[in-house]
Amino acid sequence: MKTDDSSRLQNLNKTIKAASQTNLYKDKNLKILSRLEDLSTLPFTTKQDLRENYPFGGLATDMQNVIEVHTSSGTTGKAVVSYLTKKDILEGNKAISKAWKTFGINKDSRLMFIMSYGLFSGAAINTYAIQHLGAFVLPAGIQPIMKQINLMIDYQIDTIVATPGFLLYLSDSLEKNNIPREKLNLKRAIAAGEIYSNQTRAKIEELLDIEVFDHYGLCEVNTGIAYECEYHNGLHILDDYVIAEIINPKTGGTLKLGELGELVLTSLKKEASPIIRYRTGDITKIIPGKCKCGRQSYRIDRIHGRINDTMFIRGIKVNPYELRDFILNIVGNNLKSSDIIFKIKKNDIKYTPQVYISVKDDKILPKLQKDIKDTTKVPFNINSVEPNFFGREDNNKVKLVQYVED
């Protein structure tokens, strides 16, 4: 038993007690636990549960105590909301600033946040945590790329926070506009919001001559949950703030250390929006053993994918992240943009799935089409598009898998 387990259990029971008062949990028969291990006896919370309880069903305090609200970026149906009291923001700052400290941020750091503010929780919540360390934050949000580059130069920004796709786009844009890398004072980037491989990370690090850290979070629990240390060997969980479990997504059973499954999170210090066993839909594992850095916290592996992103095409299962890396490997330096989009149609065997890609020379496309068919057994149709097709300047994220409606 870890030494801090008793305070975690205490906070877990506080969370259970607070949650039981809400509409979201009042019929779920939550019980106070005598051991942390018994958490697996409590019911799950799904995104659907949260949506059905919009707007106030999950709120565990009076509106009078709430000072901020965020919603998840869901574009269809009812949003998922997360409320914050003053105490929630302070506890969040304490927890999440640990991650930023580990990335090397201190009061001399100059950060630029290239993610949208507004209802999206990631930018605001992390900005507060960074400012808690006394660092400078430039809340750039979404702007045309030349404006972003000029801000980076004018303020000699050393750290940027963006999606990995944006970082590749930044590198392309510097090259296209003949802006020497030396004009920027960049040392590191925190790349989050999109799932990316170590291979993509290495590419970004080489192109921009920076260190890239992964950071994991989600609006439903908090947009700071786990972070990489200097060893980049999994993400350290903020253990005194959340409890992480890995379950078999089909049976709901808890998996052992090291087994790949769905990440489930329980909050320990959220006052306004406590959450119990939230099914994130993200696929990862808990890494056994301790990290070389000496931190005692549990670590999760980098996110492997999302359960709902697996493409089922004509009865064949295709992992879009693996297919993306496979394509990027084949196309190599022939790319004009690092973005790729797959378009598929659910339950329609007549529809030919599409790949959208931007290459310098179309001659590679027939070979690419054949290689994809050989490896996936699915005949994808390849579309050659211009980089602006992906709309990087207008969007936080580009959705890798897009479903075509009838």
Applying CB under 5 A, the span of 4-12, 71-79, 229-237, 374-382 interacting with Zn ion comes to 229-237
Residues 6+ apart with CB under 8 A from 327: 340, 355, 357, 368, 372
Tell whether residue 328 is a contact of Zn ion (CB under 5 A).
no
- Select the residue interacting with Zn ion from 291, 311, 364, 400 (CB under 5 A): 291
Compare residues 151 and 293 and give the one whose CB is closer to Zn ion.
Answer: 293
- CA contacts within 13 A on the Cβ side of 300: 28
Compare residues 100 and 356 and give the one whose CB is closer to Zn ion.
Answer: 100
- CA contacts within 13 A on the Cβ side of 14: 15
Compare residues 229 and 275 and give the one whose CB is closer to Zn ion.
Answer: 229
For residues 72 and 220, what is the distance between their CA atoms, to the nearest angstrom?
7
Compare residues 95 and 137 and give the one whose CB is closer to Zn ion.
Answer: 95
Residues 6+ apart with CB under 8 A from 97: 129, 130, 132, 133
Closest distance of CB 293 from Zn ion, Å = 3
Compare residues 301 and 371 and give the one whose CB is closer to Zn ion.
Answer: 301
Tell whether residue 293 is a contact of Zn ion (CB under 5 A).
yes
Applying CB under 5 A, the span of 142-150, 193-201, 263-271, 293-301 interacting with Zn ion comes to 293-301
Applying CB under 5 A, the span of 118-126, 163-171, 214-222, 288-296 interacting with Zn ion comes to 288-296
Closest distance of CB 299 from Zn ion, Å = 7
Tell whether residue 237 is a contact of Zn ion (CB under 5 A).
no
Closest distance of CB 213 from Zn ion, Å = 11
For residue 74, the tally of other CB atoms under 10 A from its CB is: 13
At 372, which helix (H) or strand (E)?
A: helix 365-376
Block residue for tokens 């200097």: 230
Percent helix, strand and coil across the chain, each rounded to 5?
35, 25, 40
Closest distance of CB 236 from Zn ion, Å = 6
Closest distance of CB 273 from Zn ion, Å = 29
Applying CB under 5 A, the span of 135-143, 248-256, 295-303, 325-333 interacting with Zn ion comes to 295-303
Applying CB under 5 A, the span of 26-34, 213-221, 227-235, 318-326 interacting with Zn ion comes to 227-235
Applying CB under 5 A, the span of 47-55, 226-234, 240-248, 256-264 interacting with Zn ion comes to 226-234
Pair 307, 283: CB distance under 8 Å: yes
Q: For residues 93-132, which are near Zn ion according to CB under 5 A?
A: none
Tell whether residue 246 is a contact of Zn ion (CB under 5 A).
no
Residues 6+ apart with CB under 8 A from 101: 133
For residues 38 and 339, what is the distance between their CA atoms, to the nearest angstrom?
43
Closest distance of CB 195 from Zn ion, Å = 21
Closest distance of CB 231 from Zn ion, Å = 5
Closest distance of CB 22 from Zn ion, Å = 36
For residues 22 and 148, what is the distance between their CA atoms, to the nearest angstrom?
43
For residues 125 and 58, what is the distance between their CA atoms, to the nearest angstrom?
19
Closest distance of CB 232 from Zn ion, Å = 9
Compare residues 294 and 332 and give the one whose CB is closer to Zn ion.
Answer: 294
Tell whether residue 229 is a contact of Zn ion (CB under 5 A).
yes
For residue 283, the tally of other CB atoms under 10 A from its CB is: 22
DSSP conformation class of 93: H
For residues 203 and 198, what is the distance between their CA atoms, to the nearest angstrom?
9
Residue from 77, 76, 59 nearest 68 by CA? 59
Applying CB under 5 A, the span of 42-50, 173-181, 285-293, 380-388 interacting with Zn ion comes to 285-293
Binding site for Zn ion (CB under 5 A): 229, 231, 291, 293, 295
